[in-house]
Amino acid sequence: MSEVRYNVISGDWVVIATERAKRPEDFTHVKQKEELPAFNPACPFCPGCEDKTPPETFRLADAEGRWTVRSIPNKFSAFSPEGDVVKYKVGSRQFISGVGLHEVIVETPQHNMTTALLPRDHVEQILQMYKNRLIAFYEDPRVEHVIIFKNHGEGAGTSLEHPHSQIVGTPVFPGQVMGRLEEAIRNYYYVNFGECVYCLCLSNELSDKVRIVGENKSFVAFIPYAALSPFHLWIFPRRHVSCFGSITDEEISDLAAILKEMLLRLYIGLDNPDYNYMVRSLSPKEANSKYFHWYIALVPRVSQAAGFELGTGMFINTALPEASAQFLRDVKI
């Protein structure tokens, strides 16, 4: 019989369709592999093609002065970096000017590289860039919320093969984020009587153990009890803090290790699936919030929403979270 589990973080009900459940290995989609070159002269993100992009805002470099990670304004930005935020209301119609920030973080000079195969110290540099740009974005008073995300693969929405992430500063507080924040506040004050629901969730997962995929001194990676989709992973910091910008250098090293490990387990176990990951965080001024806890959501795109999900807002997960976690733990890396 199927189970309907409640996701205390997102506030969603999830159908764990045990009667339709697939074996974890059945989610592997063998793709036609195309050998990519280490350098593509037509790619605007490759070294030597810097004139094809807007001037960079920040870069990290090696001992020889060659860039290793660079952040550049998105040439096709979702928001305009110029102007003021102006709000309009005509009857029930509300809108504001589309002012905000949007940058692309080029993760490596190598065109054919993937994050799972990068050295850990290079993943650390990518995370350092995330921290730098998030803090810088929040210094702009027009920005209400900042989201860092990575799209890997065509099925995840990427349009350029060269490894990259994106960071966007929006002039509004997104509805999905507001919903999760309201859920966290409701749990903190009315359900858990002053205990952060994220900390409680982490404590429960560490106690149950069966959905843990990996952990180290600073972070725990697990498939949540009510995972919204197959192999949906969360990476939680053990330390309660609400803003990713508060991460320490030691924590960045530990996060690089566990993020690389999770991506490598997916790369080997599911044959390099398309995926998205998002850094869910509040702003630096809200870093000491008692009820929110920043984290990374890593979502392999091995299934897709259909009419039921769109019509109800509920999710159907055809993979048992406990079995998915066991499968990933067993992957030899």
pLDDT in tens, 92-140: 999 999 999 999 999 999 999 999 999 999 999 999 999 999 999 999 9
Q: What is the pLDDT of residue 22?
A: 67
What tokens were used for 70?
A: 């660079």
Write down the pLDDT at residue 33: 61
Residues of the chain with pLDDT under 70: 19-22, 29-33
How far apart CA 184 and CA 282 sit, in angstroms, is 12
- When computed from its CA atoms, the radius of gyration of the chain, rounded to whole angstroms, is 20
DSSP annotation of 53: S
CA distances from 176 to 83, 156, 169, 182, 183 (A): 26, 19, 15, 10, 11
Q: What separation in angstroms does the CA of 298 have from each of 40, 56, 151, 320?
A: 28, 27, 10, 17
Residue 32 is predicted with a pLDDT of 56
Q: Is the whole-model pTM more than 0.85? A: yes
The amino acid that residue 9 corresponds to is: I
**Rounded distance between C-alpha atoms, residue 89 and residue 270, angstroms:** 48
The rounded distance, in Å, linking the Cα atoms of 89 and 154 is 38
Q: What domains can you pick out in the chain, each with its CATH number?
A: 3-74+101-330 (3.30.428.10)
pLDDT of residue 219: 98
